[in-house]
Amino acid sequence: MAIPTSVAWVLLALCCGQVLGSVGGPLKVAVAANFRAAFVVVGGEFERVQGLELAPVFGSSGLLATQIRQGAPFDAFLSADMARPAALVRDGLAAGPVRIYARGKVALWTPKGNASPMALQEGRIGLPNPKLAPYGQAAVECMQALGIWEGIQNRLVFGNNVAQVGHFLTAGSLPAGFVALGQLVSVDAPAERFWVCPANTHRPIEQGAVVVRRSPMAFAAERLLDFIAAPARQARLAQLGYAADG
């Protein structure tokens, strides 16, 4: 009798774990690499206020979107652009409409030199792949507007996303590169080491968020997006390297 009873207990525990895991477990959020530092701050606040645990996964938006298409168990997706979440909504994989949760700023970072676009006369320059990364696209537009794109085009080193370019710069492999301002705020870069592309030199970097349709915690995911969109958090994001909600 002893053995069947213990088996029953194990089964019961497994069932409970299953149920709790799908309902009360951490909210799994796919977050674009540029938003990592900001998400740690804002997400931490959410966990404290709402008492709900978050399990963020950081990566390039393209990869995260592909994973969601292949059935990755994410509840919400915070992309670096509007196009990828919009495509998920269009294909019935996410609930629309796409909400803008942040507006990015792109910066030129020279960890050891004085940052100025005019200092890009020589040496290689890190750029998030403009085909994949909205920050890379914005940096290209910015350099075109400044009229220096032609001169540096053949000295570019491409990162998969802003995080990889930041890593190349931190490792000392590159003297200069374009990253998200949000990354620099988190590493406390001194003001003379970076230069922010003026907003009028590139199209705005609007970052969109959606709730994944098959999420068993869609309600909680929706609450997270509401939380980030609230004026208090948007004001906080303005201190963390993102444009104030406009």
Partner 1 sequence: MAEDVLASLTLTAALAATTTVALLILAPPLAWWLAHTRRRGASLVEALVALPLVLPPTVLGFYLLLAMAEDAWLGASWHSLTGQPLAFTFSGLVLASIIYSLPFVAQPLTASFRNTPTELLDAASVMGIAPATRFLRFMLPLHRRALVAAGVLGFAHTVGEFGIVLMIGGNIPGETRVLSILLFDQVESLDYASAHLTAAILLAASLTALTLTYGTLRRR
- List residues binding partner 1 (CB under 8 A): 60, 62-63, 65-66, 87, 124, 126, 129, 131-132, 156-160, 168, 171-175
Sheet of 125-128: strands edge to edge? 156-159, 125-128, 176-180, 106-109, 194-196
Q: How far is the CB of 157 from partner 1 (least distance, A)?
A: 4
- Select 24 or 69, whichever has its Cβ closest to partner 1: 69
CA distance 194 to 184: 8
- Select 172 or 246, whichever has its Cβ closest to partner 1: 172
Q: How far is the CB of 64 from partner 1 (least distance, A)?
A: 10
Q: How far is the CB of 130 from partner 1 (least distance, A)?
A: 11
Rounded to a whole number of angstroms, the distance between the first and last alpha carbons of the chain is 68
Other CB atoms within 10 Å distance of the CB of residue 156:
18
Q: How far is the CB of 154 from partner 1 (least distance, A)?
A: 9
HSE value, Cβ hemisphere, 13 Å, CA-based, for 39: 24
Q: How far is the CB of 214 from partner 1 (least distance, A)?
A: 19
- Select 38 or 165, whichever has its Cβ closest to partner 1: 165
- Select 18 or 173, whichever has its Cβ closest to partner 1: 173
Q: Cα-flanking dihedrals φ and ψ of residue 159, to 5°? A: -100, 155
- Select 54 or 94, whichever has its Cβ closest to partner 1: 94
